Amino acid sequence: MTKTAWLFPGQGSQHPDMMADLLTAYPPAKERCEQAAAILGWSVIDCCAGRIGNLDQTLYTQPSLFLVESLLVDALKERGAKADFVAGHSLGEYVALYAAEVFDFATGLRLVQRRAELMNAAGGGKMVALIGFDREQLQGAIASTPNVVLANDNHPGQVVISGLPAAVDAVLGKIKVKRAVPLNVSGAFHSPFMAEAAATFATLLEECTFHEAIFPVLNNVEPEPTRDAAVLKARLRSQMTGSVRWVETCHALAAAGVTQALEIGPGNVLAGLVKRTTPEITVTSVGTIARLESLL
Domains annotated on the chain, with CATH? 3-122+191-294 (3.40.366.10), 126-182 (3.30.70.250)
DSSP label at residue 10: -
Q: Is the pLDDT confidence value at 184 over 90? A: no
DSSP state of 244: B
First to last CA, the chain: 18
Query: pLDDT digit string (tens) for 135-168?
Result: 999 999 999 999 999 999 999 999 999 999 999 9
CA 143, 146, 147 angle in degrees (round to 5)?
115
Instruction: Check the CA dihedral 31-32-37-39 and report its sign.
Output: positive
Query: What tens digit of pLDDT does each residue of 93-102 get?
Result: 999 999 999 9
Are 109 and 67 in contact by the 8 Å Cβ rule? The answer is yes
For residue 185, the model assigns a pLDDT of 85
What is the tens place of the pLDDT at every residue in 199-236?
A: 999 999 999 999 999 999 999 999 999 999 999 999 99
Catalytic residues: 90, 190
φ and ψ at residue 62, rounded to 5 degrees? -65, -50
Amino acid letter, 84: D
